[in-house]
Amino acid sequence: WQDIYTNKLAKNTIVFFYTSGADAKDYGRYAQEQGIGGAIMWTIDGDVPVTDTKNSLITNFINGFTDNN
């Protein structure tokens, strides 16, 4: 996907980006380390329940941002 992305997305190309719970945790950690106040996340289908600590994007972002686990 990086080649397509760097070429400003080829015409009629569909690109999907998948964010895992681990990715969201890394995003939170990065935001905290860079002094960014937070982030905006959007999913087309919603997140899994926040009690799903392995997969929930919200839970993992918060844990990365607040340095939990």
Within 10 Å of residue 64's Cβ, how many Cβ atoms? 23
* Whether the Cβ atoms of residue 64 and residue 27 lie closer than 8 Å to each other: yes
pLDDT digits (tens, 9 = 90+) for 17-67: 678 999 999 999 999 999 988 788 776 677 889 899 999 999 999 999 998
pLDDT digits (tens, 9 = 90+) for 1-11: 445 455 555 66
Q: Closest Cα partner for 47 from 58, 63, 38, 60? A: 58
Structure tokens at 42: 């959007």
Q: Is the pTM of this model over 0.75?
A: no
